């Protein structure tokens, strides 16, 4: 059992620390950050524990053994994920490591999941993304669902038997989840869902979808929207318009049509009318994972470029010997390190019960930017080879660019960051 | 404020070419992308309608037009959503080598076919071990009883599969100074010992048949030497100005196309009841990009005018090649980000642009090589 001292002002008052001591700590720490207006954490940089390092190594070994380059190439082209790899990963406990043990998880935190995502994507961005998004949106069930829903779905996801996806966005609404037309009508002990969703992750493949529906017909905006689970094989549920994508191609994306889809009343996730708030909380959590995937992608691209410039010779010397190359590597490494710091920090914060949308958005933005910049520069360093599919970097770049858009573009991330800074300082 | 003065004839030519693009290129672009190939027939149609090699002189079957006709073709081609029918590479980069350095019989033999589209050309410089550093090529040519025997391989060769005629850069193994060892030869398709490899799988430019080429005791007549022996390097240097300029025109127009498309999209796409273009950050992004594109256009147009007056602007064209290709990539990146989720979808036209543009800072001399040339000119 891990024992972490949690700082009291975040609502995790530990009884082991006496009240006087607590006040001392509080007073000492009341410096506020100029960036966030929040207390400066003394414990900004932390170390990954030994068990966490072991998890990291296990993930690295798994990816090394299972992520075959040629397989990845073919599957990415075909927009498929190798299911036997998923099953093996699930068998080793790599899916849902943050679920409680009773639901086939390991009872660990987001930080551990982050370490997996990073290692997987470092080895192969497309495979890593495909694997880590197996249980996309299942965190909604994990955080807000009843025990019976967790029992019904989390175990299946963690064991690799089913995928999950989110059905939030509608054609007009984009990320503004308040503008939702899909609606669920309560009839006796069931919800009847009608409507259409777009850009559904794992669309057409998932065993269960988290659907945002209007449950209060008179309501407008975010109020009156609830989160309801619909099983993939429900009668009246149709997956249409599968997308041909720029990147993240091992994860399917499609539209879903709900035509009188009947689900039991108990499929309501969390509180009725709180669907949008729950979705926003989920996006925060999902962005941490996304930033870890981006961080891994950046690292993978960096290592490939490093390997190349150490070997390639031109004008009588190694490419790595040119100052401009070295400075490019310096920039790349710097971007990765900044992102790493932010990503680990928000993951550890999340595990300690502190979740700050602004900082998470910063982590997401810096990691995605690092992934885009590093993979782009890596292609340039490899020259013509960088442009060839065989050298993988073009795939890393396409995946990076897609991740930068997947859970909100730069403008949206900056909106979130600014909102958090401005509203918390005043 | 545009620098170039187009006559009515030029405008009529542009209209004619636009109609051709609409009829013959746009409807086929998707198929070419899927096939990873442009059929030779499409090149022939270009030739039949007078859109290949506009600058080749009438005595060799060409129309003998000025460079503005080339500019027009590149500008319109930039908006065709395909890169396989890469006519400027043929018309304005490769064929000029034959026209400038070829012997009379070489010109008589090959140029009419280049103009008509019966001969598609390629140039083989890059090798698996030599890209930016051309002097380190290892494909060798040895003279033997009135023939030249070529051995080695070339890679990343555009039009590699379609090419009927290849200009190849080779090294004489007996000459030590690499700059004096390089010669250019003309190799016809189907010459014994010349083998075309498979199409290379690339990030983008899918309709472009980029390939590896192999030479195993490939025998060609000595008359196929282009220009003089051992001055391959000098000939290549002499033609770089036009090569870089045409690449700049393409990159500039691609950047403008990306921006125009995104502005239209953002005006017409509502998110949460407001058009995307109503966002201040989007507006400023467009303002910045439009400013940069405008300044870039004025520079490139100025270079076109200077180039037409035969001025030496090799440094300036290096600047333009680097700046325009870099700009086009930044625009594609930024515009995809502004567009948002639709930009993840291959249906979004800019996705292909992002994939296609990524090679522009790499080919025709990497942007690092460009910067090296610019810096060298400063005598630092």
- The string of DSSP letters for B90-123 reads IIIIIHHHHHHH--HHHHHHHHHHHHHTSS-EEE
Which of B200, B279, B346 is opposite residue A246, by nearest beta carbon? B346
Q: Which fold has domain B123-230?
A: Butyryl-CoA Dehydrogenase, subunit A; domain 2 (2.40.110)
- Going by pLDDT thresholds of 50, 70 and 90, the confidence category of residue A176 is low
- Going by pLDDT thresholds of 50, 70 and 90, the confidence category of residue A223 is confident
Contacts of B345 in chain A (CB under 8 A): 243-246
Contacts of A73 in chain B (CB under 8 A): 201
Asked if domains B123-230 and B239-377 share a fold, the reply is: no
B237, B365 Cβ separation under 8 angstroms = no
- Going by pLDDT thresholds of 50, 70 and 90, the confidence category of residue B178 is confident
DSSP A216: S
Catalytic positions of B, written as ranges:
243
Residue of chain B nearest A403, judged by CA positions? B344
Testing the interface with B: which of A77, A314, A375 to mutate, by most B Cβ within 10 A?
A314
DSSP B380: -
- Number of C-beta neighbours around residue A30 at 10 A: 10
- Going by pLDDT thresholds of 50, 70 and 90, the confidence category of residue A328 is very high
Find tokens 């994306």 and name the residue: A253
Which of A73, A384, A412 is opposite residue B362, by nearest beta carbon? A384
- Report pLDDT digits (tens) over B14-47: 999 999 999 999 999 999 999 999 999 999 999 9
Touching check for B341 and chain A: CB below 8 Å?
yes
For residue A33, pLDDT over 90 is answered with no
Touching check for B126 and chain A: CB below 8 Å?
yes
- Shortest distance between the Cα of B60 and any Cα of chain A, in A, equals 35
The mean per-residue pLDDT over the stretch A331-348 comes to 97
Q: What is the predicted pLDDT for the residue at A37?
A: 47
Cβ-defined contact of B361 to A380 (cutoff 8 Å)? yes
Distance CA B46, CA A37 (A): 64
Q: What is the predicted pLDDT for the residue at B270?
A: 87
Touching check for B160 and chain A: CB below 8 Å?
no
- What ipTM goes with this model? 0.96
What is the distance, to the nearest Å, from the Cα of residue A399 to the centroid of all Cα atoms in its chain?
Answer: 14
- Going by pLDDT thresholds of 50, 70 and 90, the confidence category of residue B1 is low
DSSP B200: P
Name every residue whose Cβ is closer than 8 Å to that of residue A343 and which is 6 or more positions away in sequence: A114, A118, A288, A291, A292, A295, A363, A367
The mean per-residue pLDDT over the stretch B40-64 comes to 97
- Report pLDDT digits (tens) over B324-371: 999 999 999 999 999 999 999 999 999 999 999 999 999 999 999 999
Distance CA A222, CA A210 (A): 16
| Contacts A–B by Cβ distance under 8 A | 117
Which of A199, A386, A410 is opposite residue B362, by nearest beta carbon? A386
Contacts of A174 in chain B (CB under 8 A): 271-272, 340-341
The mean per-residue pLDDT over the stretch A401-416 comes to 96
Which of A173, A397, A411 is opposite residue B279, by nearest beta carbon? A411
Touching check for B201 and chain A: CB below 8 Å?
yes
Residue of chain B nearest A180, judged by CA positions? B272
**Any idea where the domains of chain B sit in the sequence?**
8-119, 123-230, 239-377
Touching check for B206 and chain A: CB below 8 Å?
no
- Report pLDDT digits (tens) over A90-105: 999 999 999 999 999 9
Touching check for B19 and chain A: CB below 8 Å?
no
Q: Which fold has domain B239-377?
A: Butyryl-CoA Dehydrogenase, subunit A; domain 3 (1.20.140)
What average pLDDT does the structure give for chain A?
A: 89
What average pLDDT does the structure give for chain B?
A: 96
Distance CA A211, CA A167 (A): 5
CATH number, domain B8-119, options 3.20.190.10, 2.60.120.310, 1.10.3210.10, 1.10.540.10? 1.10.540.10
Distance CA A335, CA A374 (A): 8
Q: What is the predicted pLDDT for the residue at A82?
A: 98
- Reported for B28-36, long-range contacts at CB under 8 A and 24+ positions apart, including other chains, are B28/B82, B29/B80, B29/B81, B29/B82, B29/B207, B32/B82, B32/B84, B32/B85, B32/B207, B33/B81, B33/B82, B33/B84, B33/B206, B33/B207, B33/B352, B34/B206, B35/B207, B36/B199, B36/B206, B36/B207, B36/B209
Cβ-defined contact of B347 to A244 (cutoff 8 Å)? yes
Contacts of A247 in chain B (CB under 8 A): 344
Contacts of B199 in chain A (CB under 8 A): none
Contacts of B270 in chain A (CB under 8 A): 172
- Report pLDDT digits (tens) over A356-405: 999 999 999 999 999 999 999 999 999 999 999 999 999 999 999 999 99
């Amino acid at each position: 059992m891990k024992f972490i001292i949690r700082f009291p002002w975040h609502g995790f008052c530990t009884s082991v620390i006496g009240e006087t001591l607590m006040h001392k700590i509080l007073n000492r720490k009341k410096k506020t950050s100029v960036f966030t207006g929040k207390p400066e954490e003394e414990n900004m940089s932390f170390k990954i524990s030994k068990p966490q390092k072991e998890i990291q190594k296990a993930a690295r070994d798994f990816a090394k053994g299972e992520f075959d380059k040629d397989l990845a190439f073919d599957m990415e082209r075909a927009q498929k994920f190798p299911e036997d790899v998923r099953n093996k990963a699930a068998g080793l406990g790599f899916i849902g490591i943050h679920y409680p043990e009773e639901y086939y998880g390991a009872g660990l935190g987001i930080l551990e999941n982050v370490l997996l995502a990073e290692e997987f994507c470092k080895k192969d961005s497309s495979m890593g993304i495909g694997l880590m998004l197996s249980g996309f949106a299942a965190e909604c069930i994990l955080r807000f669902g009843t025990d019976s829903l967790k029992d019904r779905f989390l175990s299946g996801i963690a064991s690799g038997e089913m995928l999950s996806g989110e059905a939030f966005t509608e054609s007009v609404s984009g990320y503004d989840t308040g503008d939702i037309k899909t609606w669920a009508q309560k009839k006796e002990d069931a919800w009847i869902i009608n409507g259409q969703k777009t850009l559904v992750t794992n669309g057409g493949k998932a065993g269960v979808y988290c659907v945002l529906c209007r449950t209060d017909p008179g309501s407008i905006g975010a109020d009156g929207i609830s989160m309801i689970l619909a099983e993939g094989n429900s009668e009246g549920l149709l997956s249409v318009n599968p997308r041909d994508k720029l990147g993240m191609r091992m994860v399917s994306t499609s539209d879903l049509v709900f035509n009188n889809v009947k689900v039991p009343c108990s499929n309501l996730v969390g509180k009725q009318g709180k669907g949008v708030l729950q979705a926003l909380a989920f996006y925060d959590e999902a962005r941490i994972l996304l930033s870890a995937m981006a961080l891994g992608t950046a690292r993978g691209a960096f290592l490939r470029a490093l390997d190349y410039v150490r070997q390639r010779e031109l004008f009588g010397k190694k490419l790595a010997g040119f100052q401009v190359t070295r400075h490019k590597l310096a920039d790349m490494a710097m971007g990765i390190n900044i992102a790493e710091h932010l990503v680990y920090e928000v993951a550890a914060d999340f595990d300690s019960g502190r979740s700050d949308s602004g900082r998470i958005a910063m982590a997401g933005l810096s990691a995605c930017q690092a992934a885009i910049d590093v993979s782009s520069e890596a292609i340039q360093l490899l020259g013509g080879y960088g442009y060839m599919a065989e050298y993988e970097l073009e795939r890393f770049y396409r995946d990076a660019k897609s991740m930068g858009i997947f859970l909100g573009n730069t403008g949206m991330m900056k909106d979130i960051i600014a909102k958090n800074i401005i509203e918390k300082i005043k | 404020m545009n620098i170039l003065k187009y006559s009515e004839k030029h405008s009529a030519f542009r209209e004619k070419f636009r109609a051709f693009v609409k009829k013959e290129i746009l409807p086929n672009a998707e198929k070419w992308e899927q096939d990873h190939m442009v059929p030779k027939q499409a090149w022939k149609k270009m030739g039949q309608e007078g859109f290949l090699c506009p600058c080749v002189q009438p005595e060799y079957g060409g129309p003998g037009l000025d460079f503005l006709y080339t500019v027009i073709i590149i500008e319109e081609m930039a908006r065709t959503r395909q890169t396989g029918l890469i006519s400027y590479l043929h018309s304005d980069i490769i064929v000029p080598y034959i026209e400038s350095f070829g012997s009379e019989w070489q010109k008589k033999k090959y140029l009419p076919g280049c103009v008509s589209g019966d001969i598609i050309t390629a140039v083989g410089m890059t090798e698996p071990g030599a890209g930016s550093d051309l002097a380190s090529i290892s494909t060798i040519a040895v003279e033997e009883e009135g023939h030249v025997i070529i051995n080695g391989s070339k890679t990343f060769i555009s039009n590699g599969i379609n090419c009927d005629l290849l200009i190849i850069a080779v090294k004489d193994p007996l000459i030590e100074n690499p700059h004096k060892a390089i010669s250019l030869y003309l190799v016809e398709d189907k010459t014994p010992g010349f083998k075309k490899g498979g199409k290379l799988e690339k990030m983008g430019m899918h309709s472009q048949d980029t390939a590896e080429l192999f030479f195993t005791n490939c025998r060609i007549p000595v008359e196929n030497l282009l220009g003089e022996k051992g001055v391959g390097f000098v000939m290549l240097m002499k033609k770089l100005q036009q090569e870089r300029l045409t690449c700049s025109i393409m990159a500039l127009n691609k950047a403008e196309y990306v921006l125009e498309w995104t502005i239209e999209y953002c005006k017409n796409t509502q998110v949460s009841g407001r058009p995307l273009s109503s966002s201040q950050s989007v507006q400023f992004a467009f303002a910045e990009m439009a400013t940069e594109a405008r300044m870039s256009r004025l520079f490139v147009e100025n270079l076109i005018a200077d180039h037409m007056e035969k001025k030496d602007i090799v440094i300036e064209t290096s600047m333009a090649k680097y700046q325009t290709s870099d700009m086009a990539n930044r625009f594609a990146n930024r515009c995809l980000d502004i567009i948002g989720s639709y930009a993840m979808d291959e249906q979004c036209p800019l996705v292909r642009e992002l994939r296609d543009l990524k090679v522009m800072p790499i080919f025709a001399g990497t942007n690092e090589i460009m910067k090296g040339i610019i810096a060298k000119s400063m005598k630092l």
